[in-house]
Structure formats: C-alpha cells, structure tokens
Amino acid sequence: GAGGVLTAPPPPPAPPPDGLPLLLKLEGIEACGDEPWFADTAVRRALRESVIAAHAEQKILVGAPLDEIRRICPSGGRVLGAGGVLRLGGAHLGGYGEADINYAYRQLSRALHPDKNPDIPQAPDAFKRLSEAADELRQGLSEAREVLKALCMAMGGNATPEMLERPQEALLAEASRLLHAVLALSGEGEVPGPALTRAVVAFTSSSAYHQCQAQALLSEWYDQSRLLDLFAGMQLRTAYDCAPKRFRAQFLCTLNRATMAEAKRQNDCVRGNWQAVMMQFPEMGLWRDLREKMRLKVWTPEGEERKETKGSKWDDDEGPRVSAWAKTWRERVRALLPSALEGAAPATDPDVRRLSAALWRDVTQWARTDGDAERHLQLFTGEPSGRAGLLRAAGNASAQVDEWAYVPAVDLFLIICEGIVGITAEGLLADNRPGHDRFSFEDVMAGKHLEKREKEKREKDKDKEKDKDRADKDREKDRDRAKAKDKEKDK
C-alpha cells in the first residue's frame, strides 16, 4: 500500500459456523477452560483485523534523534532486542510482516542517519544496529513461516497466504491446536478404556482438528522429537509474546498439561527435549508452583479429618486423605459430570463453565490469603491492553476489562478431583456409577446431590433392616420346623 502501510483486504464472506458451541459468557472472565479459539474462524479473523487496525493507528512516532539513538544503543553493554529496536511485536500491536518492518525501518532510518546527526558520535552504531535488527526480524519471519507450515502439516491443515503474511497469530493458534489434539487423544486424569475408545470417535468427528489421523499424530508427537522441538524455538516464543493474554495463559496451561500427559504415559519420565521448551517459557515454573500449592490444599486434611473411612469404589467417602474443602468440591464436580463409562460433558458445557467459575473464585480467595500466591495469580489477571477490547468475542466489544483474562478450569478439575475425574476429546467425565443422573450447577451448589445421597442411604438402611427382619423371621420358622421334626422323631 501507499507509504508502506498495509491496507486491510476486504473481509472474506462470513464462513458457515464452525460447528462450535456458543460459549456462555461468564461475568468478569474473558476465557475459561479448553475454549477451541484456534478453530473459531470469527475469533481468528477478529485477531487478524485487530492487528491490522493496530498497525494502521501506530503511525510510528519517532522521537528526537538523540533519544532514539540512546534507546537503540543503551549504555552498560545492554542490547535491545530486534523487535524492541523497531518497536514491533508484543501484545499491544500483535503480529507483523515485511511491510511493517520496512515501514518502521524507513521511519527510523531517516531520523537516525549519521549524515543528519554529525554531532552524535553513536549515530553510526545506532544506524548499523537498526539495519541489523530489520534483517534479524525478516529472517525470523521466514523461520516463523516454516514452523507454521510444519505445524499445519502435522494436523492435516494448510497455511493460507493471510496466515503467512503476519505469521505470529496463526503460529500460536496452530501450536495450541496441536497441543489440544495430543491431549484430547492421550486422555488426562482418570480415563477408563471405553472412554478412550469414545475419545477417538469424538476426535475424528470434531471440526477443530482438520482431517488429522489420530494414531499418526500420537506417534509423531511421542515417538519423534521434531514437533516438540518446534516448541523450544524462538519463533513460537515471539508469537506467544504477540498474543493477547487469554491465549498466552491457555497456551501455558496446555503446554504444562502436555508434559504431565507424557509423564503419565512413560512411567513418570519426559523427554530431555522438554528442558529447552521450559527455558523458552519460564512462566511455567510459576504456574507449576501454584498447582503444587493447590495439590497440597487438596491432600492435607484439616485436624479432625484423619479418621479412616472404608467404603466401596462407588461410595462418595474419599478415604482418609482429602481435606474437607476438597471433598465438598469433589462431590459437586462428580455429581455434575456424567459417568466415565457412559459419556462426557464437553469442556464448553454451560454448567461446567459455571462450576469452573465458582471453583476459581474460591481458589483465588484462598490464593490471595492463606495460599500466599498473589504473584502467581498475575498469570491469569485481565489486561487493560487496547486490543482486548477490539477482540471481545469478535465484535461485542465492551470497554470493561474483565478481572480474569483466563481461568485454568481443566487444571482445577484435574488437581482438585485427582483420582475421580478425567478429560478426553469427548469432554470431562467422572467415575460415577453407570446410570448416574447429572445434577445442574444450581442443584450442586444447593447441595441437592447430598440430599439424594442421604435419602439413598436411608432407603438402603431401611432395606437392610427389612432384610434383617426377614432373616430373623426365617430363622424362627427354621427353628419351629426343626422343633416340629424333633417332636415327630420323639413320637
């Protein structure tokens, strides 16, 4: 376009709905749990358009030459990254392509040219750093496009020209799609055999995973390192840094869950290649720390609760180990979810979303007080960035910044309901008896599931009493019969 500014192409005609369910909007929460945003054409298009709009607004403001030169060549041996030099990347602007690099370079090089600044000794160094930075970003773009193509190929999709132009948005989306696919097929938490079989069927019929072959993907992910190594590369990190916070937080949680799914599969071992991925995403350390704090809250009974309780596998008695707080939530979650032997509730189910939000409120209250984890919650807090508003569910922008950019719902269920809940491509499931009738969110919060259990227990006890009475009567009859027989003998 004129002056190197990209003009937006006319928007493509609205695609048919993706077969994705409409998500119940939760108050104060931008995104919750496993939202398949990477497969939502409206969200993806809104993301791209918000980046185009941000670039159009960002007529790059060049400061006084001396200030720019000092910024680009800071003292004390520090080096400003290439994106920083050209003011490209980061969540505010989002992705960038060649045209954006050329535009930023032209604006800055005019101001910094040594001929124009003979009185500033660092001008030649700054000018040189500027052209190096532009080359570095161009090189990064072509690498990012290769990574994007590789991810698309692994999933049976293809990289369109508009995805490749500014590849960062698509790169995080396709990396997210791949991780969600691997988890959907591996299963997490407690997943009985029949549920895994149903998962493959659900995966194959889902519109979120292109025409991906389940078995081929799993062996490519677990038996080779090519795909995992893409996650350790700088290109994916750059794409992550360009994304709105809700997508960053979801990606971080999914990436960590992938390490746990692998450990579960391979006797608690993960490949050495993960080390480099962890170094690229050091935020994972903080998240793991918070998960561990939550796990301790679940498995540390408070004082009085250390009594042994024995019961059948289907009884709601958790045995001696979980805290009263965890027990309350475990019973709610279990009552709300279907039996793993029969089905699952999709992660987008409105009752699952409502319960996730209520559980998160409870967890964050604890994290800010006894949990001593205020800092950890920063991973999920809402961000006032200009683009969040542009994005709000592709069009219903509200100026209000949500308190939470993302709620890690699946992690909450897996940690707090460890041993009784699982998740696959089909959705969330619990080890309920076959024939279990699901309770609604309102009903579990009102304790209806507990009333039902009490009632069943009373009926069971009544039946036991009846059986005992019957047994007593039978014994009496037997005694009477025996006496009658003895009398016969005596005659």
Does residue 15 carry a pLDDT above 50? no
Compute the Cα dihedral for 138, 143, 149, 155 and give only its sign: negative
pLDDT tens digits for range 297-345: 999 887 644 554 444 444 555 455 899 999 999 999 999 999 999 999 9
How many CB atoms sit inside 10 A of residue 431's CB? Answer: 21
- Predicted confidence at residue 472, as pLDDT, reads 84
Give the C-alpha separation, 179 to 393, whole Å. 22
Give the C-alpha separation, 398 to 274, whole Å. 39
- Predicted confidence at residue 396, as pLDDT, reads 47
Give the C-alpha separation, 252 to 221, whole Å. 18
Give the C-alpha separation, 287 to 411, whole Å. 11
Does residue 450 carry a pLDDT above 50? yes
Give the C-alpha separation, 258 to 166, whole Å. 27
74 Cβ neighbours under 8 A, 6+ residues apart:
80
Nearest residue to 335 via CA among 319, 349, 316, 321: 316
Does residue 59 carry a pLDDT above 80? no
The angle subtended at Cα 85 by Cα 81 and Cα 88, nearest 5°, is 90
- Predicted confidence at residue 271, as pLDDT, reads 96
Mean predicted confidence (pLDDT) in 56-85 = 87
Collapsed DSSP state (helix, strand, coil) of residue 29:
strand
Instruction: Please indicate whether residue 396 or residue 480 has the higher confidence score (pLDDT).
Output: 480
122 Cβ neighbours under 8 A, 6+ residues apart:
69, 70, 73
- Predicted confidence at residue 134, as pLDDT, reads 97
234 Cβ neighbours under 8 A, 6+ residues apart:
140, 143, 280
What's at 385, amino acid-wise? S
| First CA to last CA distance, the chain | 121
Nearest residue to 387 via CA among 30, 34, 63: 30
133 Cβ neighbours under 8 A, 6+ residues apart:
82, 83, 85, 86
Give the C-alpha separation, 154 to 156, whole Å. 6
Exposure string of 212-243, with b = 16+ CB inside 10 Å and e = fewer, is bebeebbebbbeeeebbebbbbebbebbbebb
Does residue 361 carry a pLDDT above 60? yes
Give the C-alpha separation, 156 to 261, whole Å. 23
How confident is the prediction for the chain on average, in pLDDT?
88
pTM of the model: 0.86
- Confirm if 331 and 450 have CB atoms less than 8 A apart: yes
- Predicted confidence at residue 159, as pLDDT, reads 94
- Predicted confidence at residue 236, as pLDDT, reads 97
